[in-house]
Structure 1
C-alpha cells in the first residue's frame, strides 16, 4: 500500500509523519533532511498504523518533502504533446534533455509563489518527481523492474518558469530557479515494487483558477525513469533524497508561434527583435500566471490506490 509521508512543522518543531486521511501519525526520531528520512525513517513509516494518527492534518504547517540540501535535477521536453506545443517534432527528439534547478526554489505544496517584479510571462509545469533511495555513484544499467531498488518514492513538482527569462536568455537554470519556483509535495509517497510498476498510470492534472490546463498520464514520457537513471548514473553522483522532475505534458501557457511569425522572426528580425516579438505577443496571452491566480495540481492513479495529494499555490507579486 502506498504510504503518504509528510514533512511538517508543529509547535515550532520540524517533524516527519504519515498521513492517514486527514490525520497524521508523527514519526519518532528527528530527521534533519530528506536524506536522513530516506536512510532511517522509511521502516518507521512502513510500520505506521491509522490508530496512531492523532494529529489533525489541518493543525500542521506543510513543508516541502524535499529539503533544500538535496539536488534538483530536471528533464525537459519529455512528453510528445509538450514537444509539439513548443514547435518541435517529437520524432526528432533524439536525446534526453537534462538540467538543474536551484534547490533553494523548493517550496511547500500550499506556499505562495512569488512572481519577481521583472517577470511578466510566468508559466506552470506539473511534473512527476522521483526521489532517490540509495546512492547512485557509478555508471550502471537500471532496468524498468528495478526502480524500487533505487527510488524511495514519488511527489508532485510544479516547475514554475519565467519564460521571458528562460527563452530569450536560453537559461533553463536562471528562468526556473527563482525562490518559490519549485512547489513540491504535499506527500512523498513511498511505493512497493508492485506499485512502482504502475507509474505509467499516474494521472497528472493542473488547473488555474479552476480551469483545466494540463491533463495527461505519466506513461506518455519519451524517456522513462529507468532510462533517465541509467543516463544520469554515467554523468554525476546522485544521493538519497535527491529529486528528479521528469518533464511536463502539453497545456503550458507558452506556445510556439505560427508558421508565418516563425518565418518572419527567422528571416526578417534580429535576435533581439525576435524575442521582443515573443514577449509582446505573450503579454496578450491570458494563460500566463497573474497575481492572485491559484494553481491546483494533482497526480494519482484513476482508481485512487496511489495518490500524491493536491498542491494549491497562489501567485503573489514580489
Structure 2
C-alpha cells in the first residue's frame, strides 16, 4: 500500500493509493496517519480495502502533505555513504553518526523550502526515510529490525552548512532544524511493496541539472543495522522517522552552488515517488 495525506497544512486527511492507482478515503479506518495508526492500523486498512469499505477519493488539485503526521522524533544518520563522507572531508565512520532534526521541519513533498535569514550555504540531501511501526527498544539483532518498520518514504534532509558546521558548537542540529528543512513524501510505502530497501536508486536535481545518482546498496550501515543500532540508545516509537543518510553530489562537495531563491529541487527514489520543492526566502517575523 501507499499511504498519503492530502489537504491544507494542519488539516490533512488520510488517503490510501492502491496498486491500480486508485485513491481511497482512509477515514473509515483512521483520522490520520500517525503513530497510533501505524502501530496497529495497517492490517485494518488492508482488510477494509479488500472488503470495499474505503470509498474512492479524488486528490486532483489538492496539496499533498507529508505522508506521516508530525513524528515524535526525526533521527538522522550522518555520512552513511563513503563517497559523501569523502566529499565532506571526513573518513567513513566506524559507527553510525546520529543527530536530530526538529519534528516541525517535516513538510509536504511540494511545499516550498524556506531559506533562513543569513543563509548562504543551504544544501539538498536525497535520503531514504524509514518510518517506525512497532516500538523498538534493545532489539536483539539486526535480523529482527525490519519487522519494526511501517514503511519507507522519500526524504530531503535539507541542511544549512554554516549553521551545521561553523556555528554548530559541535552539534549539527542548528543546521538541520530550520523550518521546512524536511520535505517528505509523497507516499509512505509499506514494506510489502519494497522487496529490499538496500536495492533502491536515489537521485536529485537542481533546476533540472543532475546532482546525486546512487543506490542504497552503497550505504555503510544498512537499514536493518541502523534500526537495531539506534534501539540500543533510544526507544523508537511508531511514527518516528529515520533519515538514513545521503550519497555524494551535494553542494558541500564544492562542485555545485548552494541553493538560492527560485531554485527548484527535485528528488526521487525507486518505488517511493518524486518530490519537487521551490526555494524562497523565509518571511521575517513581524510580531
TM-score, normalised to structure 2's length? 0.88
Give the structure with the higher percent helix: 1
In structure 2, what is the equivalent of residue 266 of structure 1? none
User: Does 2:251 correspond to 1:253?
Assistant: yes
- Unaligned ranges ≥5, structure 1: 257-284, 301-306
The answer to whether structure 1 residue 297 and structure 2 residue 267 are counterparts is yes
Residues 118 and 95 of structure 1: CA distance in aligned 2, closer, same or farther (over 3 Å): same
1:275 aligned partner: none
1:15 matched to 2:17 = no
Structure 1 residues 23-102: aligned runs within 5 Å: 23-27=22-26, 28-32=28-32, 34-47=34-47, 48=49, 54-90=56-92, 93-102=93-102
Aligned to 2:154: 156
> What does the per-residue CA deviation read over 1:74-131, in whole Å, with 9 as the maximum and x for residues that have no partner?
00000011011112233xx212101110001111001001001211111000000011
Specify the SS of the correspondent of 2:70.
Answer: coil
Cα deviation, residue 178, structure 1: 0.5
Q: Decide whether the 8 Å contact of 1:148 with 1:196 is kept in 2.
A: no
Cα gap change, 1:70/1:118 in structure 2, threshold over 3 Å: closer, same or farther? same
Is the Cα contact below 8 Å between 1:129 and 1:246 reproduced in 2? Answer: yes
Instruction: Indicate the RMSD between aligned Cα atoms, in angstroms.
Output: 2.2
Q: How far did 1:227 drift?
A: 1.5
Deviation at 1:177, TM superposition (A): 0.4
After superposition, the Cα gap between the structure-2 partners of 1:249 and 1:153, relative to the gap in structure 1 and judged at 3 Å, is: same
User: What is aligned with 2:164?
Assistant: 166
CA contact (8 A) 2:197 2:223 kept: no
Which runs of no fewer than 5 residues in structure 2 stay unpaired? 283-287
Where 2:252 maps in the other structure, the secondary structure is: coil
Matched residues in 1 for 2:237 and 2:269: separation?
25
Alignment-derived partner of residue 106 in structure 2:
106
Cα distance, 1:40 vs structure 2: 4.2
CA distance in 1, matches of 2:111, 2:11: 18
Deviation at 1:4, TM superposition (A): 1.1
User: 1:148 and 1:118 mapped to 2: Cα distance?
Assistant: 41
Q: Cα gap change, 1:218/1:9 in structure 2, threshold over 3 Å: closer, same or farther?
A: same
Task: Find the counterpart in structure 1 of residue 224 from structure 2.
Answer: 226
Deviation at residue 64 of structure 1 after TM alignment: 1.0
Paired positions, count: 275
1:19/1:57 contact within 8 Å kept: no
**How far does residue 53 in structure 1 lie from its aligned partner after superposition?**
6.4
Q: Is the 8 A contact 2:145 2:228 kept in 1?
A: no
For 2:134 and 2:214, the matched residues in 1 are separated by 29
CA contact 1:65–1:188 (8 Å) conserved in 2: yes
User: Quick check: 2:81–2:248 contact (8 Å CA) kept in 1?
Assistant: yes
Q: CA deviation at 1:54?
A: 2.7
Determine the C-alpha separation between the residues in 2 that align with 1:253 and 1:242.
28
Shift of the 39–88 alpha-carbon distance from structure 1 to 2, 3 Å rule, reads closer
Q: Distance in 2 between matches of 1:134 and 1:200?
A: 21
Superposition deviation, residue 147 in structure 1: 4.1
Q: Are 1:210 and 2:234 matched, yes or no?
A: no
Task: Provide the rounded CA distance (Å) in 1 between the counterparts of 2:146 and 2:36.
Answer: 18
Question: Whole-Å Cα distance in 2 between the matches of residues 188 and 99 of structure 1?
Answer: 22
Q: Give the corresponding residue for 1:140.
A: 139
Q: Supply the distance in 1 between the matched residues of 2:256 and 2:224 (Cα, whole angstroms).
A: 37
SS in 2 for 1:228: helix
Q: Distance in 1 between matches of 2:71 and 2:243?
A: 16
